[in-house]
Chain A
């Protein structure tokens, strides 16, 4: 066990799987960076440096730079997955799904069903998501609800370096297509990460904060923000909060959420995705169906507005929910001060 960054954890997990299984190949734009150019052949190691050094260890037959051609390389990865490889692709920004969505939702996601259960599609699509880097509307979205909506896909959103490594190894070994989303502001987050290989099963939430009074459900980077709100609620308001990080939106650990809601009777869902048909709405409806009579207050959803991600820092600052907003939401469940939320 040693302290590693989110980026190092991913790199280490990827390399360990590539050593373990020669069918694992990495495919993406600039996953080495420098192919055919006059300088360093591993200049980037991915746009965020996650695949740096893989070229040196494994060579170009195992890590393939592509032209800027998402439809072709995501589709190629899908075709490779059903014929014997286990591709790990990097879609630089999840926003780029707009130019390869067919290959994901109509091809990879549906092979197994359409072919009567006679094929496996062991494909991982890694992508960055999230606002807060001044990247504006086409490089900042949190589009995991779009994938979660599609039967046949699994969707993973790690919130710590430890989870990132264990969930990535699980994703690579999984025989179904997995969308693996990394918040671009978290690559330098540090945490304890075992040196050896380990997996974290999909559909099992983690509960980084335990409390009896209220529940906050949060994904990815919002988990850290929710934990900060939980600490303040305990210190300033004597409200003990349970924070649930489902870790995967598909499959979703409904049991852990429902159990906590039944126990606490109050719940806030904090999500960075758009509010309409998003994860917060999805989980809210699930709670309403399965734990309605245990609720002591309305279910609250804390999300960005129904608006694209803005560019100007003065606007973007207000886009992703702040800890104070989650804190106010939880507090309102006790004193009815909902008007303070907006």
Chain B
């Protein structure tokens, strides 16, 4: 997909009908979709993806210093998926996330400083230091939480969608989950329940091809799209390294759910650059595979090549975003390191709203 810019503006006339359900991976024409986005949204998309990448790359370094408690799971490589999807959502829409949740939180609008402080276990964190990387949640921004349990999110999304439907908020709820979680019963049950209740829900399987250290070549039987089809759920499979492909498919998916037609399924395929957790030597994947994914499946490089090739943005503008983001992450790390740790008096507060 990296050479999609070759289509150029001349491809406009050859685009398919607006019913993108007929499109398959590789058919998404950049010019059709890229041109639809205002310049401001293109910058926003790039900035969100760059924020996630820089956040995660920096965390990998910070983990090596030994100052980050516990474990973090990094989302680098998959930025286009969270970004392309969440650009269609507002604060009234809810997402559930996974143990690899930083990207979803950033794309959904959770504050960078609070997230960084949370991951460092500080009192100024999003969850006041009580959740950590795997439990970052921000209900005000519709973020139902990263989740330490693989497959924990899809049932919660059914409930958030039920709230939207019952209270007629106009919102939808969307579950991000991995190819690993697609083998959990909770995910299968949620597909069924969402269809039975005709919920305004979207299920996004972010397929990075590996659950912890086990390849989905081994762990996942059958065909991913067929799993949605089996429940009668419409869906699309897109290249998760191509922001424009994700953004376009997500528009269809979210509009479908929002209009009351019931749930929709998206399959986005993109690599996980790091091992399962930061510090995992990742010996289960070959050096060739890891080199190739970083060279050929980098959503940021692909995005840059497309918008520069089409003359939609100039390199200086994108470089300025990179510099701005680097400053934001530097400041977030410095602030987190300087922030106070939660006081011991906080140990058993917030267990209940009220307890006799």
Contacts and interface: CB of A to CB of B under 8 A. Distances in A.
Are A and B associated in one complex? yes
Interface of A: 23, 25, 61, 64, 66-67, 69, 71-85, 87, 102-103, 106-107, 111-120, 151-152, 154, 174-176, 201-204, 248, 251, 253
Interface string B108-146: 000000000000000001111111000101110000110
A33 to B, nearest CB: 15
Given A64-B197, A72-B186, A103 B350 contact: no
The 10 closest A-B pairs by CB, nearest first: A75-B155, A79-B159, A203-B356, A79-B156, A117-B350, A116-B128, A72-B189, A80-B159, A116-B127, A76-B159
Interface in B146-199: 147-149, 152, 154-160, 162-164, 166-167, 169, 173, 185-186, 189-190, 192-193, 196-197
A156 B190 CA distance: 29
A107 B152 contact: yes
Contact of B189 (A71, A114, A116): A71
Contact of A79 (B126, B157, B167, B192): B157
A75 B144 CA distance: 12
B158 A152 contact: no
Contacts of A75: 152, 154-156, 158-159, 186, 190
B344 interface: no
Contact of B126 (A69, A116, A176): A116
B177 to A, nearest CB: 13
A39 to B, nearest CB: 19
Given A83-B159, A151-B351, A204 B152 contact: no
Contacts of B353: 112, 120, 174-176
A115 B127 contact: yes
A78 B167 contact: no
Contacts, number: 168
Interface in B9-63: none
B352 A114 contact: no
A72 B352 contact: no
Q: Which of A25, A80, A83, A119 has most B Cβ within 10 Å?
A: A83
A67 B196 CA distance: 8
A107 B160 CA distance: 14
A160 B80 CA distance: 58
A124 to B, nearest CB: 14
B350 A176 contact: no
Contact of B192 (A67, A81, A112, A117): A67
Contacts of A69: 189, 192-193
Q: Which of A67, A114, A202, A204 has most B Cβ within 10 Å?
A: A114
B65 interface: no
B94 interface: yes
A251 B94 CA distance: 32
B349 interface: yes
Contact of B352 (A64, A85, A118, A154): A154
A115 B131 CA distance: 6
A204 B135 contact: no
B355 interface: yes
Contacts of A76: 155-156, 158-159, 162, 190, 193
A71 B159 CA distance: 12
Contacts of B157: 79
Given A69-B193, A80-B160, A83-B159, A102 B152 contact: yes
A152 B148 CA distance: 17
Contacts of B185: 71
Contact of B139 (A67, A119, A174): A119
Given A69-B192, A201-B356, A115 B166 contact: no
B317 interface: no
A252 B156 CA distance: 30
Contacts of B167: 23, 84-85
A297 to B, nearest CB: 30
Interface string B94-108: 101000000000000
A115 B135 contact: yes
Nearest to B193: A72
Given A73-B193, A113-B351, 7 more contacts: A71-B185, A72-B192, A75-B158, A111-B145, A116-B129, A117-B130, A117-B349
B350 A116 contact: yes
Interface in B203-223: none
A287 to B, nearest CB: 19
Contacts of B96: 79
